[in-house]
């Protein structure tokens, strides 16, 4: 359930990292978003590869921006090898925010050896706004059905890290 954009890849070089951060700052300014610089000598990044935990612990750097009050933060946090694996839920924001994030990812795609994007709204693959609108509608139907099936469910909730949880008891 949801409309989430998952992305991962390895930047080509430090120069590409600098360009991606510059583009992210420009994107944040266009979205009137605060920019949080991320720079830690040691941090645990929870990752998954082939449906198995594949965590990283070590140096990280990047930025975090908030594309919309009702979306996940867009976190661009790279490990020491300039690899990233992240996601951004957009279903509680609006379609234009989802499209803007996809456009941003397309803009930085050339900075990666290979940027893999899985867009649950299918806009990355199709550029089809009607299909994206349908994915948002489908989400809200499923969301409402889940609440009808279990009235103890409430949501959405924004967590302290800015991430959104759809439903919780």
d(CA 25, CA 63): 8
> What are the extents of the domains in the chain?
4-165
Beta-bridge partner residues of 6: 87, 118
Tens digits of residue pLDDT in 42-66: 867 677 777 777 677 888 999 999 9
pLDDT in tens, the chain (169 residues): 679 999 999 999 999 999 999 999 999 999 999 999 999 788 676 777 777 776 778 889 999 999 999 999 999 999 999 999 999 999 999 999 999 999 999 999 999 999 999 999 999 999 999 999 999 999 999 999 999 999 999 999 999 999 999 999 9
**Stated pTM of the model:** 0.92
């Amino acid at each position: 359930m949801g409309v989430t954009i998952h992305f991962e890849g390895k930047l080509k070089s430090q120069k590409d990292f600098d360009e991606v951060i510059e583009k992210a700052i420009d994107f944040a300014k266009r979205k009137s978003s605060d920019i949080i610089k991320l720079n830690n000598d040691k941090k645990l990044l929870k990752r998954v590869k082939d449906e198995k935990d594949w965590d990283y612990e070590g140096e990280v750097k990047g930025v975090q921006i908030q594309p919309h009050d009702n979306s996940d933060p867009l976190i661009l946090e790279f490990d020491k090898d300039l690899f990233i694996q992240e996601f951004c839920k957009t279903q509680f924001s609006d379609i234009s925010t989802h499209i803007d994030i996809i456009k941003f990812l397309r803009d930085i795609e050339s900075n990666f050896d290979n940027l893999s994007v899985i867009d649950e709204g299918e806009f990355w693959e199709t550029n089809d706004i009607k299909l994206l609108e349908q994915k948002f509608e489908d989400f809200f139907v499923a969301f409402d059905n889940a609440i009808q099936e279990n009235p103890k469910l409430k949501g959405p909730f924004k967590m302290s890290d800015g991430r959104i949880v759809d439903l919780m008891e």
